[in-house]
């Protein structure tokens, strides 16, 4: 074969490869990644150059230095000013996760409830929910946080004039205080009984479902499971001689000491984010229910199912396939909106490592990278879980 024919065939080969959709998509992806990494490399080089000109180096060694500040809310691990910036970052991360998890749970309950009430045949209930949803969704979330926080600060009394319930639970503008349990010798048997009860309940639920599929007989699994989880540890508790006492909070100086407390910053942030996000979830739930054909409800009523059972057993399971995908976005929004905690002094990961630690160490790049990666990892975990849940709830084709 002559060299002229080889030269003539080369453009044709490249043209055929380009016209092939699979090869073309791979080539475009490779070029996109090369451009992206080149762009990131230029940014990194520019940052390194500017840091060198400013006399700074890129290092995370500051994480081992003493933080020198205190964190008022530390429900999981203790912290003192002599602890390191890394421990402060961990405390802030745990506080962020606490707001995210509790906020998602509260928002889901409120959102599903309001979404169903929005479709109520009662005109007054439906209109009231509609007005609340429209008002809440059209006001910035930061204003909601300030509003709820202001209620706690200016409506509730100071610790010396605290509202008390049986002189054991106290409500003040510095937090809610109630007795904390003190576990004594022998309480380990109660924990063992609780774990045993959970294992028994899981085994019972699996057996009950298989038994129902075979025979059609349905047992009151929720009632039985609740009785096992509560009854077995409670019985073990009394047999072991009630190995637990209570530490009552008492006023000392200008605040209460002892017991368990929840700071108003946490309550205000969590509740504001929860009811704000629940308004969007309510509209998602409403649209998901409306997406289910009305014939499903009519068929259920024809079989003798009540309105509540029809909603619980027929409509909601089918609506979940429409509800779950946009629901994941609302969970992500709630988690990311928790970064507004710094506005009211709640010590989350932004306020600790991204706020005070940044100002004390001057490590802008390092602290911001830590904060960005934290929210990125949390968001990816939420997305992965919701994708798994969505796949599990999707219709299985046969």
What span, in angstroms and rounded, lies between the C-alpha atoms of 25 and 22?
A: 5
* Segment 114-144, tens digit of pLDDT: 988 888 888 898 899 999 999 999 999 999 9
Helix ranges (H only) for the chain are 3-19, 21-53, 85-117, 123-137, 141-155, 188-215, 221-239, 264-290, 294-302, 307-310, 316-337, 349-351, 357-361, 364-393
* Segment 296-316, tens digit of pLDDT: 777 777 777 777 777 777 777
Mean pLDDT of 245-269: 83
CATH code matching the domain that covers 85-141+262-393, chosen among 3.40.50.2300, 3.40.50.1980, 1.10.3720.10, 3.90.1150.10: 1.10.3720.10
Is the distance from CB of 85 to CB of 91 less than 8 angstroms?
no
* Segment 53-66, tens digit of pLDDT: 766 777 778 888 88
Mean pLDDT of 223-227: 89
Cβ neighbours around 69 below 10 Å, total: 18
Q: Which two tokens stand for residue 195?
A: 């774990």
| pLDDT at residue 1 greater than cutoff 50 | no
Domain ranges in the chain? Answer: 3-44, 85-141+262-393
Average pLDDT of every residue of the chain = 84
Is the distance from CB of 89 to CB of 74 less than 8 angstroms?
no
Query: Residue 45: pLDDT band by 50, 70, 90 thresholds?
Result: confident
Mean pLDDT of 319-333: 87
Mean pLDDT of 77-93: 88
Question: What is the model's pTM?
Answer: 0.78
Q: Is the dihedral of CA 181, 185, 191, 197 positive or negative?
A: negative
Query: Residue 396: pLDDT band by 50, 70, 90 thresholds?
Result: low
């Amino acid at each position: 074969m002559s060299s002229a024919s080889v030269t003539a065939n080369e453009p044709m080969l490249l043209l055929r490869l380009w016209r092939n959709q699979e090869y073309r998509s791979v080539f475009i992806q490779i070029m996109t990644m090369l451009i992206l990494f080149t762009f990131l490399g230029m940014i990194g080089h520019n940052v390194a150059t500017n840091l060198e000109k400013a006399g700074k180096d890129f290092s995370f060694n500051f994480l081992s230095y003493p933080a020198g500040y205190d964190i008022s809310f530390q429900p999981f691990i203790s912290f003192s000013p002599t602890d390191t910036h890394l421990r402060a970052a961990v405390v802030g991360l745990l506080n962020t996760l606490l707001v995210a998890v509790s906020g998602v749970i509260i928002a889901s309950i409120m959102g599903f409830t309001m979404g169903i009430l929005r479709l109520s045949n009662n005109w007054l209930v439906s209109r009231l929910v509609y007005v609340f949803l429209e008002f809440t969704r059209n006001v910035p979330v930061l204003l909601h946080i300030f509003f709820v926080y202001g209620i706690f600060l200016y409506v509730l009394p100071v610790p010396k004039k605290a509202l008390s319930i049986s002189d054991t639970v106290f409500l003040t503008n510095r937090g809610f205080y109630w007795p904390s349990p003190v576990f004594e010798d022998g309480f380990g048997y109660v924990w063992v009984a609780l774990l045993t009860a959970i294992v028994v309940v899981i085994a019972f639920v699996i057996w009950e479902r298989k038994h129902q599929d075979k025979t059609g007989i349905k047992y009151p699994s929720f009632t039985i499971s609740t009785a096992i989880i509560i009854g077995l540890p409670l019985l073990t508790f009394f047999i072991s001689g009630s190995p637990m006492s209570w530490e009552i909070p008492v006023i000392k100086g200008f605040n209460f000491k002892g017991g368990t407390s929840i700071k108003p910053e946490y309550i205000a942030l969590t509740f504001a984010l929860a009811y704000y996000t629940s308004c969007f979830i309510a509209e998602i739930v409403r649209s998901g229910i409306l997406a289910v054909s009305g014939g499903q409800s009519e068929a259920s009523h024809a079989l003798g199912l009540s309105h509540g059972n029809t909603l619980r057993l027929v409509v909601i399971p089918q609506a979940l396939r429409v509800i779950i995908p946009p629901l994941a976005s609302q969970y992500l929004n709630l988690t990311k909106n928790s970064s507004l905690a710094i506005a009211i002094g709640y010590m989350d990961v932004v306020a600790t490592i991204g706020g005070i630690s940044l100002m004390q160490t001057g490590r802008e790049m390092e602290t911001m990278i830590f904060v960005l990666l934290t929210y990125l990892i949390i968001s990816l975990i939420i997305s992965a879980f919701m994708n798994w849940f969505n796949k599990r709830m999707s219709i299985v084709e046969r």
